[in-house]
Amino acid sequence: MGKGMKAGKKPNPNKGMGMGKGGMQKQLAQVQAMQRKMEEVQSQVEEMTTSATSGGGAVNVTVNGAHQMVAIELKPEIVDPDDIEMLQDLILTATNEAFRQMDEIAENEMGKVTGGLNLPF
């Protein structure tokens, strides 16, 4: 038996870490509360919308936090049957920018709950 060890005494891995039963339960409750808040915020984010334009405002796309396109507006002058590729590019550009903005909004809202912890949601 090593010096200073007493028979039948097991070292406590939580000793000195403030992690007794009460501490662990408190931490678990805090994690559960944060999880509930994150779910609530995620639900709110899914209801949010953001819009982005391209072509100088000729194409306007609106998306929601559930990553769904909810509206698209095209100015009549942008619809040129001889240049469908340009219209497609403008729609893609506006859509991708709207989703990028929505991801940023969601990240900011979650950051308010997690205090900057980099947690997946």
Instruction: For residue range 70-114, list pLDDT tens digits in order.
Output: 999 999 999 999 999 999 999 999 999 999 999 999 999 888 887
Threshold 0.75, pTM exceeds: no
* Single-letter amino acid code for the residue at 10: K
Least confident of 15-19, 26-30, 51-55: 15-19
CB–CB of 62/102 below 8 Å? no
92 CB neighbour count, 10 Å cutoff: 13
For the ranges 27-31, 63-67, 113-117, the lowest mean pLDDT is seen at: 113-117
Contact indicator for 38, 121 with CB cutoff of 8 Å = yes
What's the rounded Cα separation, in Å, for the pair 17 and 87? 61
Structural contact between residues 81 and 99, judged by C-beta atoms closer than 8 angstroms: no
Residue 1 has pLDDT above 60, yes or no: no
49-106 carries CATH number 3.40.50.720: no
